[in-house]
Structures are given as structure tokens and as C-alpha cells.
């Protein structure tokens, strides 16, 4: 009589208890222990690190400027569309 939805609830509770793999678990699996742990042997000098940070900052600024221009153009077009519709 009530077996259908009770079984559904039991199944739901079982599924909620199961162990899930997260994105972090998948990241760990990428490095196969057969080949050993991942070790980054390359070291940056402080000067190279400063240049690297500067390059990253310049890329971020360029991307930000690009996004601002895009938003400005879209806002301009939207306002123009509203004005055009208001004049009709």
C-alpha cells in the first residue's frame, strides 16, 4: 500500500549516505602513483617571479579593459534601443 514512496525514501537516504568524489579527489587521481608523485623541480629567481607577476597583471588589466569596453558598448546600444522604442 505505502511501499512505493517508502522505498523511494529509503533509496534516497541510501544515495545521500554514499561517498562522493569531489573535484579535488579527481585532481589527486591525475597523478598516477605508478610513476611517482608530481615534483616541480623548476625554481624561479625573484627577478623572474617579478616579471611573471607583472606579465600576469598586464594580462588581467587587458582583459578587464576589454570587458569594460564591451559592457560600455552594450549599455550604449541598450540605451539607444530604449530611446528608439520610446520615440515610436
- Kindly report the pTM of this predicted structure: 0.46
Distance CA 80, CA 72 (A): 12
Quote the Cα angle for 85-71-62, to 5°: 160
Indicate the average pLDDT of the chain.
Answer: 83
Alpha carbon 80 to its chain's center: 34
Residue 84 has a pLDDT of 93
Could you tell me if 77 and 71 are in contact, meaning their C-beta atoms sit under 8 angstroms apart? no
Residue range 16-55, pLDDT digits in tens: 877 777 766 666 555 556 666 666 777 889 999 999 999 9
Amino acid at each position: 500500500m505505502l511501499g512505493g514512496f517508502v522505498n523511494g525514501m529509503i533509496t534516497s537516504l541510501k544515495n545521500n549516505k554514499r561517498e562522493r568524489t569531489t573535484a579535488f579527489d579527481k585532481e589527486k587521481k591525475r597523478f598516477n602513483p605508478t610513476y611517482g608523485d608530481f615534483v616541480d623541480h623548476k625554481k624561479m629567481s625573484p627577478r623572474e617571479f617579478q616579471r611573471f607577476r607583472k606579465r600576469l597583471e598586464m594580462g588581467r588589466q587587458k582583459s578587464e579593459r576589454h570587458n569594460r569596453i564591451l559592457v560600455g558598448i552594450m549599455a550604449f546600444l541598450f540605451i539607444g534601443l530604449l530611446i528608439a522604442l520610446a520615440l515610436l
